[in-house]
Amino acid sequence: MEKSPSSVENQDTKSSFISERNYLVIHIISIVVIALAALIFIVPSMENANHAFAIGFVIIVALSFIYGLIARHISPKVKDRNPNFNPYHTFFFKGTVILSVILVIFAILGALFVYIEHDNLFQAVGLATTVIWIALFLIYFMWSVYHYNINYGLTDQDWQRIYDFRDMHSKGIPVKPSDLEMPEYNPYKSQTFGLPPGTVRGMIAFTLLMGGMSLLIVSFGTQYSGVDAALLSQQFEFFETAFLMMIAFYFGDKSLKYLRERWVPKQNNVQTGGQVQNNQSVTQGDNAIAPMDNLEIDNAYFDNEDRIFSLENGLQTEEVSPASQQRSMLSTSFEAQPEISLQREEYVQIKDNTNSKILSDMDIRIALDELEAEENLKISLPVIKALVKVESAGRGHLSDGRAKILFEGHKFWYWLKQFGKDPEALSVGNEDIIYKKWTRTHYRVGIKEYDRLEAARKIDPKAAIYATSWGLFQILGENMEHNIKSRNYQDVEEFEAKQHESEYYHFLDFLAFIKIKKVRGKALIEYISEANEGNYDWESFAYGYNGSGYKVNEYHLKMKHFYEQFKNEHTWKA
């Protein structure tokens, strides 16, 4: 007895449903087993204070996976997600989603590890924020590249619709001509990555913004002082500068285009009182064509290429400017360059004066030679360059030539008290420069730190200098009392003047500091001297210079790494 087609179809559907249901049950059981294994074998090995957090985390992750499986099972099946079978679809979408999911999982696990190991929720959130943003950035970027470079600005559904209409047309079914039209190229192929203008700049700007926000979140949960505070300040300054440069680049470009349109005369006869001016002025007005920037030059080239392509294939073209006008624009864009070159050459001395502030290898050699001759202490150049690389605050001076500083209000409180003044009474109205405990709340960073220093100087000049970190190595002025006393500064005025003068003086202060500062009964300089015959104790030096937090920032490992790098350059032997 034959079964009807409908009954066979119903049986196939039923068996398919059963298999899918069994598949779902197996997945759920697997997730539950894995979660139980984590709760039994992994969670008990953690510290007691983290048990509740770990248990909650495992349960939430397990429930999330179960929810995702059930939602996918009961949702309507979406057929033909890639109807035109684009060979790049799987690579751009499935591959990107898999990579992004892996990144997010690593972000969550990494954040959990950071929280458990360091008990710092802010660092965990900052790490997770950064990695998750990278995953989102990757998804959007890959979609944009696919949409414009592979699909020419259309969706997969749009392409399938065009193929359907063309198939109907081939069968003799009447269709509208507009339904058969399909793009031949990416409309933004002259732009960066073939994306619409401003897309790449916007993504970079948002990435810089997210990086700065992540750094801000991390900074909430960590206390910094001295070199660490200067390093954090430098990192904030980098993100701030980079973000502002992106904004200035975008809006500055727009404003220059607007001003250029106002400055360039219109291409028509200039009349005064109804009379045409002399032929020379009219000719100048006609030929005054605005110079093109690099982006417009590229666009002009591709527009010309597209026009040739359209003519060869019988497509409609839009009116474009003559080639002679393009050549004129290209030629006028280079007219002002010789003048710019001459203007730059006039101020070579400014460049020399600026560079004279920077610490050079020759400066280090001179200081080390004097140290060996006077005190019989031999330090190699690669060792010092490694220390400068790790312990310095980037550059020792601001853009206006003054020394880079960081004013510490809690140090100002201490020295006011030492000099016989009442810091608590003086803090009224001066809460941003006088406070008992360290906080980063009042840091202004950069040139604005001098506003705080000047306000403090009015209260007590000496205490103000003592409470400020100075220069390349951010050494506190209070070290004049002990660690850099051998520098023999006559007073705080001379000390400050030398800080503004050159990074060389910053380096001499640094050498004096590590000669006096002791840890484990030895001066810091002894751990890195050539008396060790190359067996330098980077860890002891980092502990003495940076404090107990050196391991978290891996200062000792960075010193060793950069030492090996500079040693292998061989330039120090010259």
Res 358: pLDDT:
86
Of the candidates 496, 485, 494, the residue with the CA atom closest to the CA atom of residue 403? 496
Res 61: pLDDT:
77
Q: Could you give the count of Cα atoms lying within 13 Å of 175 in the half-sphere of its Cβ?
A: 18
Helices (H) and strands (E) in the chain — how many of each? 25, 7
pTM value is 0.41
Res 195: pLDDT:
83
Q: Going edge to edge, which strands form the sheet with 468-470?
A: 405-407, 468-470, 475-476
Phi, psi of 445 (to 5 degrees): 70, 140
- Using CA atoms, how far residue 279 sits from 64, 282, 289, in Å, is 79, 5, 17
Res 283: pLDDT:
41
Of the candidates 405, 427, 401, 404, the residue with the CA atom closest to the CA atom of residue 414? 427
| 3-class DSSP state of 475 | strand
Res 314: pLDDT:
55
* Residue 96 per-residue DSSP state: H
The number of angstroms, rounded, from the C-alpha of 552 to the middle of its chain's C-alpha atoms is 21
Res 273: pLDDT:
43
| Count of all residues that appear for the chain in the document | 574
Res 461: pLDDT:
95
Of the candidates 218, 212, 210, 236, the residue with the CA atom closest to the CA atom of residue 443? 236
Query: How many Å apart are CA 133 and CA 139, to the nearest integer?
Result: 10
For 121, residues 6+ apart whose C-beta sits below 8 A from its C-beta are 115, 221
Res 573: pLDDT:
45
Res 224: pLDDT:
62
Cross-strand pairs, 405: 470
Res 279: pLDDT:
44
Residues of the chain whose pLDDT is less than 50?
A: 1-3, 5-6, 8-9, 12-18, 76-84, 255, 258-259, 262-263, 265-289, 317-352, 572-574
Res 212: pLDDT:
76
* Residue 108 burial (10 A CB sphere; 0-12, 13-18, 19+): middle
Which runs of consecutive H residues, i.e. helices, occur in 483-554?
Answer: 492-501, 503-516, 538-546, 550-553
Res 431: pLDDT:
93
Q: How many C-beta neighbours within 10 Å does residue 155 have?
A: 10
Res 463: pLDDT:
96
Give me the residue spans of the domains in the chain: 293-329, 361-404+471-573
Q: Which two tokens stand for residue 478?
A: 């209070």
Cα end-to-end distance, the chain, whole Å = 99
Res 409: pLDDT:
94
